[in-house]
Structure 1
Amino acid sequence: MVSYSFLLGGVKFPKVKNTVLFSFILMAACGNSVKEKTKDNRPEIIDNTQPAISNTIQAEAIKTGADNFEAYLPLLKNKKVGIVTNQTGIVTLNGNNTNVVDFLLDKKVDLKKIYAPEHGFRGTADAGELIKDGKDTQTGLPIISLYGNNKKPKPEQLEGIDVLVFDLQDVGARFFTYISSLHYIMEACAENGIPLILLDRPNPNGGIVDGPTLEKENTSFVGMHTIPTMHGLTIGEYGKMINGQKWLKNGVQCQLTVIPCLNYKRTTTYSIPVKPSPNLPNDQAINLYASLCFFEGTNVSLGRGTNKQFQVYGSPYLPNTGFSFTPAPNEGAKDPQYNGKVCYGEDLSKYPKVNRIELKWLIKAHNETADKSKFFIPFFTKLAGTTQLQQQIEAGKTENEIRESWKPGLEEFKKMRKPYLIYGE
């Protein structure tokens, strides 16, 4: 059984093998006394575009793992530090947001290298765009790209690093590649004997667990593990699960310390202070992401090249029912699908918040496409994690019938993930 060490308020707790006891201690330590200390240190919510649903934080005193710096700064003292982060690595002090890299440098932490995931360190690159190594112009620190052909740091790229910090904002969906980057970072740390400190962040989609479970033969960078489409975990809990399930190569395990969020519950509504990726501009897009991302494996556009990415869908091959959009190059989509072509479909930017994966739009678009043989592309199976979903839609199965087929996998996953939960069910 894996042991976990954790810190709260600068106090180090001993390693605990009983994960149920670990969760109980952690939740008790994150109670009202902490909330009273932090009620004047409230996260600033930044509206990146014009969100269709309000950016409301019910628990205003939430502290992310990065904000819980009393717990991890002592671990970095006199260490040569590398960090995996991007624009989502935000520390909030007195209502002001600063990047975690700038924060650590201000605290005299000996930062040596930045490791950047998909979209790059500043988070502006297109989805799937090759990111090259370079240097951060603001800090002068070298940047190692973890996207493209180098998803896992090589031993020479970790030379001179005593400890690695991980701070990326996940959105709770299997195909969001930051959790795939976490897998490879943990594997590299385990193989090179480098401890990993993971700064936890809330899941903006809360505890939603839904969708088909990935089959091993369909493993890819958009689906590394045998989990449902939506996992309902924070990225810290996900890291614990990767370790505990021995999903890393050859069953190796990483020396992992999770710095927890404070005053956070899985049911708390949480808005991300900055865009987690260029094409997830607001709460609505993040909420619809897991439902609409399946369109990436079809001939239907998700609105890349508009200002309503993941809030609209359409194509030139769907009937004109009154709504259309025309993609054009913009941030995160230098050459969007159907660039300059009119796409007909549906505007979901004001659709009520969903609490599960909705298949009705995917099924509707398939049924209304005249040449159904050209609707799906091979990438759809990678996104779905199974060949079954495409087969079910092509066979005319209803959404309820398809959802019924997910139940055994969902129940099995919920049992499997239980020991790794930090913030309750």
Structure 2
Amino acid sequence: MKTKYIFLLSLLFTFNALSAQKVVTGAEQMNRLLPLLKGKRVALVVNQTSMVGETHLLDTLMASGVQVKKVFAPEHGFRGDADAGETIRNGKDTRTGVPILSLYGKNKKPVPAQLQDVDVVLFDIQDVGARFYTYISTMHYVMEACAENNKQLLITDRPNPCDYVDGPVRQKSQKSFVGMHAIPVLHGCTVGELAQMINGEGWLANGEKCSLTVIPVRGWKHGQPYSLPVKPSPNLPNDQAIALYPSLCPFEGTAISVGRGTHFPFQVIGSPDIRISSFCFKPEALEGFDKNPMYKDQYCYGNNLRNIAAPRGFSLKYIIAYYQAYQDLGKGDKFFTRPQWFDLLIGNRTVRQQIINGAGEEEIRAGWQEELEAYKKMREKYLLYE
């Protein structure tokens, strides 16, 4: 009998431990969410990551009797199948008939007329923790529109899968849609924490603050690994791509392909111009990934990063190595094909020149360390998780 009792206690302990480890996103906490939406006219800012189990949040809310008036779609669209930079068109969701309005392209911010018939805006999009990933820029403009039009903003939070604080803090002169805030490349926040920071630091136009409520994630804390159940955009198909993305994205301002047009984007890098290894790949028009990739139908030679240990944070080692390879071939002046775009992605105008001058990563990192430490201290005020 005693053995049986100990066995049952052991089972109960194991069950409780497993239950405690389960990550429950804000959108999955219907007991908290539905009372906040009851009797309200609701607009959703959502995409393909806005899932409640196997069901999209839009379908879940409508089945629960919530009055969803419209959906605002960010870059890549409502279903997440549009290429980076591709125009998102207004339309209707074929399943529910709910109007879909684009928040990408010319209309990045909801206009007053689009919010007239709305009481609450609900933002539920999975971020990846990088400053230049534009969903947080969309969130900024939504916050601004809510502040200006006296609308409530509700954020159902999700974990940060690339949860580091690293890289240069964006300089004031480098503000853009891929760098809205004075935060490092890896900001170490969930969207809920970042929204609180935007409000608290007075980063909205005219220092306004929006009426903000965040439903936090349960069962997750900072530094805890989190594998995304749905790819957050066409060219981030898995955990490895997400982990490499912060360090490889600045290549988009150079002559180097990051594997768009392959089944492993942001996991291979290379160019037709150099052969630093025998590994090669050929970008092609791929539905669901990239329809018009760089070096389309040309063989690129470089590195296969699919099985390497990704940097635990932000690294310049790949950029520096490839620039040096171009230099060794006498092609250094052809490496930074879009220098201004590179600077905007890095958020810093001096890093590119340091690379050209031959500085190593440690020297370059030292130049942004003071601002990074100041950001870390400021960030602590807005954390929702340990």
User: Contact (CA 8 Å) 1:198, 1:257: kept in 2 or not?
Assistant: yes
Q: Which residue of 2 aligns with 1:402?
A: 364
Decide whether aligned partners of structure 1 residues 37 and 102 sit closer, same or farther in structure 2, where only a CA change above 3 A counts: farther
Kindly provide the CA deviation profile for residues 82-114 of structure 1, in whole angstroms up to 9, marking residues without a partner as x.
00000010112xxxx211111101111011100
Q: Which residue of 2 aligns with 1:163?
A: 120
Question: What's the CA shift for 1:285?
Answer: 0.2
The residue correspondences of 1:248-267 to structure 2 (distance < 5 A) are 248-267=204-223
Question: What's the CA shift for 1:355?
Answer: 0.9
Question: What's the CA shift for 1:267?
Answer: 2.0
Question: What's the CA shift for 1:317?
Answer: 1.5
User: Contact (CA 8 Å) 2:45, 2:74: kept in 1 or not?
Assistant: yes
Q: 1: CA distance between counterparts of 2:177 and 2:16?
A: 42
Q: Which residue of 2 aligns with 1:12?
A: none
Q: 2: CA distance between counterparts of 1:342 and 1:246?
A: 48
Q: Which residue of 1 aligns with 2:133?
A: 176
Any runs of at least 4 consecutive aligned residues in structure 1 with deviations exceeding 3 A, and if so which? Answer: 35-38
Check if 1:85 corresponds to 2:42. Answer: no
Decide whether aligned partners of structure 1 residues 38 and 190 sit closer, same or farther in structure 2, where only a CA change above 3 A counts: farther
Kindly provide the CA deviation profile for residues 198-234 of structure 1, in whole angstroms up to 9, marking residues without a partner as x.
000000012x111111111110000001111100111
User: Contact (CA 8 Å) 2:21, 2:220: kept in 1 or not?
Assistant: no
Q: 2: CA distance between counterparts of 1:282 and 1:387?
A: 31
Q: Which of 82, 86, 90 is equivalent to 1:133?
A: 90
User: Contact (CA 8 Å) 1:328, 1:339: kept in 2 or not?
Assistant: yes
Alpha carbon RMSD of aligned pairs, Å? 1.3
Decide whether aligned partners of structure 1 residues 107 and 177 sit closer, same or farther in structure 2, where only a CA change above 3 A counts: same
User: Contact (CA 8 Å) 2:262, 2:289: kept in 1 or not?
Assistant: no
Q: 1: CA distance between counterparts of 2:27 and 2:222?
A: 18
Q: Which of 74, 96, 101 is equivalent to 2:35?
A: 74
Q: Which of 329, 350, 357 is equivalent to 2:314?
A: 357
Q: Which residue of 1 aligns with 2:8?
A: none
Q: 1: CA distance between counterparts of 2:155 and 2:371?
A: 28
Q: 1: CA distance between counterparts of 2:376 and 2:150?
A: 31
* Greater gyration radius: 2
User: Contact (CA 8 Å) 2:128, 2:160: kept in 1 or not?
Assistant: yes
Q: 2: CA distance between counterparts of 1:37 and 1:380?
A: 46
The residue correspondences of 1:240-279 to structure 2 (distance < 5 A) are 240-279=196-235
User: Contact (CA 8 Å) 1:81, 1:112: kept in 2 or not?
Assistant: yes
Kindly provide the CA deviation profile for residues 300-348 of structure 1, in whole angstroms up to 9, marking residues without a partner as x.
1000000110001011112251111110011231110000111111010
Q: 2: CA distance between counterparts of 1:165 and 1:180?
A: 16
Q: Which residue of 2 aligns with 1:5?
A: none
User: Contact (CA 8 Å) 1:291, 1:359: kept in 2 or not?
Assistant: yes
Decide whether aligned partners of structure 1 residues 327 and 406 sit closer, same or farther in structure 2, where only a CA change above 3 A counts: same
Q: Which residue of 2 aligns with 1:335?
A: 292
Q: Which of 241, 256, 260 is equivalent to 1:300?
A: 256
Q: 1: CA distance between counterparts of 2:316 and 2:343?
A: 15
Kindly provide the CA deviation profile for residues 218-254 of structure 1, in whole angstroms up to 9, marking residues without a partner as x.
1000000111110011110000000000100001100
Question: What's the CA shift for 1:36?
Answer: 5.0
Q: How many residues align?
A: 366
User: Contact (CA 8 Å) 1:327, 1:336: kept in 2 or not?
Assistant: yes
Kindly provide the CA deviation profile for residues 135-192 of structure 1, in whole angstroms up to 9, marking residues without a partner as x.
1111111001000000001111112001110000010000000000000000000000
TM-score relative to the length of structure 2: 0.93
Unaligned residue ranges in structure 2 (runs of 5+): 1-14
Q: Counterpart of 1:212 in 2: which secondary structure?
A: strand
Q: Counterpart of 2:367 in 1: which secondary structure?
A: helix
Answer 1 or 2: which has greater helix percent. 2
Question: What's the CA shift for 1:358?
Answer: 1.8
User: Contact (CA 8 Å) 2:24, 2:219: kept in 1 or not?
Assistant: yes
Decide whether aligned partners of structure 1 residues 66 and 36 sit closer, same or farther in structure 2, where only a CA change above 3 A counts: farther
Q: Which of 39, 55, 60 is equivalent to 1:103?
A: 60
User: Contact (CA 8 Å) 1:210, 1:356: kept in 2 or not?
Assistant: yes
Unaligned residue ranges in structure 1 (runs of 5+): 1-34, 40-58
Q: Which of 354, 360, 365 is equivalent to 1:392?
A: 354
Q: Which of 206, 212, 218 is equivalent to 2:174?
A: 218
Q: 1: CA distance between counterparts of 2:17 and 2:155?
A: 23
Partner letter of residue 87 of structure 2?
L
Identity %: 52
